[in-house]
């Protein structure tokens, strides 16, 4: 794959490194000589000193044969205009723009949704296939990290399927069985995606044993969630209390995702299904003005203005009894300290937003369950769109040990035309859902299912297992 990257800042370089490591051809363009020198010193790719929004420059660098262009300059407007320019001449190139200004991003996203309804076959807005907002990416990553932990939750797939994570209770008929024997349990007709949580999670095979107290991720129809809850006898969901520390943009986006979940929960409760989102949301920030904004935005949440590490506040609001803390303020060091402190005081799980990937180890040593690196998250977000045109979405789950990939089996891919049992012989992945090209609803696959080219699949694989992805989608 040939990728153009405009802007050799931190994200540009990190993205180049990731792409180069996966053996892609990268052309990096920046107009700052210092940055160009720095980049060419450490990257094995073409680095040009030029204006990235000049079409002639891009053409001389060979944009005509590129597969994708990613614009990552400091300037949102340049990022967007460059993509539009390229789109005007080369509409088939995948264009990804980073847009930091949330107002631009939000307005464009709303317009994009309406465009899609009005003109399903039309060109994307401004010719930009994907707009990425760092705050949104971070919020998504934090929300996923929150969802896949103490709070146990569901990821929505297509056609009413969900990936639900539940804990196996002591009384469950499933406890002590191997995966191969599950089919004998009356009422069981689901597929297990992973067993265990976090570091210790693994992909199941027929001999994997299911133990009480462990959690399993299961693919099933949304309506079957209550059946699953009965079979697993998972401990009754207690009043769940989520504390979000930081009321600026990422905090608001994280809170929004919790609140939307809570609003939807009402419907689930009406239909007798298991509630999934948080029951009580607390947002803490030191800044009075941010707190006021938060209070106006989330009347259903409790907004506290104060220092979250203040002993008096903790006692007053019983924050230490919370089930989950998301430290997502604009100060990464404070996030680490806060998360570690509250975790030590009894909060069941803590997620912290940090600056670098390298902080992850420190965070774990401090007792923080998940550290979400800001910069790494943006690169991940871009990478999920650069897996080729056949990959639609990539979710990291089980604290980044696995990825959930939705996509289309490519023409001429290694696995195309093989029966699932043959393909699975190489191991290391599971096909969770399957749909023939152009036909019907997603279904749970069996060993005889043939992976015909163009079929829609949802697979789970180890996060670093790019080879499997190639075999499906390239």
- Binding residues for another protein, per CB under 8 A? 288, 291-292, 294-297, 299, 302-306, 313, 316-317
User: Shortest Cβ distance from residue 155 to another protein (Å)?
Assistant: 30
Residue 142 or 247: the one with the smaller Cβ distance to another protein is: 247
- Residue pair 242/326 in contact (Cβ under 8 Å)? The answer is yes
Residue 286 or 414: the one with the smaller Cβ distance to another protein is: 286
Residue 15 or 281: the one with the smaller Cβ distance to another protein is: 281
Number of Cβ atoms within 10 Å of the Cβ of 356? 14
User: Shortest Cβ distance from residue 305 to another protein (Å)?
Assistant: 5
Which is it for the CA torsion 95, 98, 101, 102, positive or negative? positive
User: Shortest Cβ distance from residue 306 to another protein (Å)?
Assistant: 4
User: Shortest Cβ distance from residue 317 to another protein (Å)?
Assistant: 6
Closest CA to 180 of 208, 202, 160: 208
By three-state DSSP, how is residue 5 classified? strand
Residue 275 or 306: the one with the smaller Cβ distance to another protein is: 306
Give φ, ψ of 114 to 5 degrees: -70, -35
- Residue pair 371/354 in contact (Cβ under 8 Å)? The answer is yes
Residue 302 or 470: the one with the smaller Cβ distance to another protein is: 302
User: Shortest Cβ distance from residue 303 to another protein (Å)?
Assistant: 4
Cα–Cα distances (Å) from 37 to 11, 26, 32, 34, 286, in that order, read 16, 16, 9, 5, 42
User: Shortest Cβ distance from residue 86 to another protein (Å)?
Assistant: 42
User: Shortest Cβ distance from residue 291 to another protein (Å)?
Assistant: 4
User: Shortest Cβ distance from residue 138 to another protein (Å)?
Assistant: 24
Which residues in 128-153 are b (16+ Cβ under 10 Å) and which e? bbbbbbbbbbbbbbbbbbbbbbbbbb
How far apart CA 149 and CA 197 sit, in angstroms, is 8
Residue 314 or 368: the one with the smaller Cβ distance to another protein is: 314
Closest CA to 240 of 322, 169, 160, 299: 322
- Residue pair 218/164 in contact (Cβ under 8 Å)? The answer is yes
Residue 72 or 283: the one with the smaller Cβ distance to another protein is: 283
Bridge partners, 326 (sequence order): 244, 351
Residue 304 or 457: the one with the smaller Cβ distance to another protein is: 304
Contacts of 297-300 with CB under 8 Å at 24 or more apart are 297/252, 297/255, 297/256, 298/255, 298/256, 298/259, 300/259, 300/262
- Residue pair 255/281 in contact (Cβ under 8 Å)? The answer is yes
Residue 158 or 317: the one with the smaller Cβ distance to another protein is: 317
Bridge partners, 195 (sequence order): 202, 216
Residue 292 or 452: the one with the smaller Cβ distance to another protein is: 292
Residue 112 or 297: the one with the smaller Cβ distance to another protein is: 297
User: Shortest Cβ distance from residue 292 to another protein (Å)?
Assistant: 6
Number of Cβ atoms within 10 Å of the Cβ of 124? 17
User: Shortest Cβ distance from residue 171 to another protein (Å)?
Assistant: 38
Cα–Cα distances (Å) from 209 to 150, 206, 240, in that order, read 22, 9, 29
User: Shortest Cβ distance from residue 240 to another protein (Å)?
Assistant: 19
């Amino acid at each position: 794959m040939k990728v153009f990257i405009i802007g050799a800042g931190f994200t540009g370089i990190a993205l180049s490194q990731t792409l180069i490591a996966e053996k892609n051809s990268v052309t990096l363009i920046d107009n700052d000589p210092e940055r160009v020198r720095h980049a060419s010193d450490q990257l094995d790719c073409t680095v040009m000193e030029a204006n990235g929004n000049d079409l002639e420059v891009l053409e001389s660098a060979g944009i005509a044969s590129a597969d994708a262009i990613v614009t990552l300059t400091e300037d949102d407007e340049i990022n967007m205009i460059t993509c539009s320019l390229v789109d005007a001449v080369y509409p088939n190139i995948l264009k990804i723009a980073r847009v930091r200004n949330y107002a631009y991003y939000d307005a464009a996203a709303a317009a994009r949704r309406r465009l899609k309804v009005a003109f399903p076959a039309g060109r994307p807005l401004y010719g930009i296939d994907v707009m990425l907002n760092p705050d949104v990416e971070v919020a998504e990553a934090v929300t996923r990290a929150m969802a896949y932990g103490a709070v146990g939750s569901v990821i929505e797939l297509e056609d009413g399927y969900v990936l639900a994570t539940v804990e196996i209770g002591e009384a469950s008929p499933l406890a002590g069985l191997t995966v191969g024997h599950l089919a004998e349990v009356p009422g069981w007709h689901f597929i297990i995606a992973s067993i265990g949580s976090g570091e210790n999670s693994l992909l199941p095979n027929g001999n994997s044993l299911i133990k009480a107290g462990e959690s399993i991720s299961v693919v099933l129809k949304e309506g079957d969630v209550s059946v699953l809850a009965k079979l697993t006898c998972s401990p009754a969901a207690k009043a769940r209390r989520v504390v979000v520390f930081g009321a600026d943009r990422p905090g608001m986006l994280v809170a929004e995702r919790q609140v939307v979940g809570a609003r939807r929960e009402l419907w689930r409760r009406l239909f007798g299904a298991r509630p999934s989102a948080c029951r009580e949301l607390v947002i803490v920030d030191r800044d009075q003005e941010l707190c006021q904004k938060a209070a106006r935005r989330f009347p259903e949440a409790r907004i506290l203005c104060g220092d979250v590490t203040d002993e008096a506040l903790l006692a007053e609001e019983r924050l230490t009894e919370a089930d989950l803390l998301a430290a997502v303020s604009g100060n990464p060091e404070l996030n680490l300290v806060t998360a570690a402190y509250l975790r030590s005081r009894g909060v069941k799980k803590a997620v912290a937003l940090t600056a670098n990937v390298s902080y992850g180890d420190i965070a774990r040593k401090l007792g923080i369950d998940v550290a979400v690196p800001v910069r790494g998250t943006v690169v991940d977000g871009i990478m999920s769109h650069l897996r080729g045109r056949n990959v639609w979405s990539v979710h990291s789950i089980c604290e980044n040990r696995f990825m959930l990939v939705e996509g289309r089996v490519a023409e001429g891919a290694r696995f195309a035309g093989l029966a699932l049992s043959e393909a699975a012989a190489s191991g290391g992945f599971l096909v969770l859902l399957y749909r023939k090209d152009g036909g019907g609803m997603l279904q749970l696959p069996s060993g005889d299912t043939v992976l015909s080219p163009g079929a829609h699949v949802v697979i789970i694989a180890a996060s670093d297992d790019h080879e499997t992805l190639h075999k499906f989608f390239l």
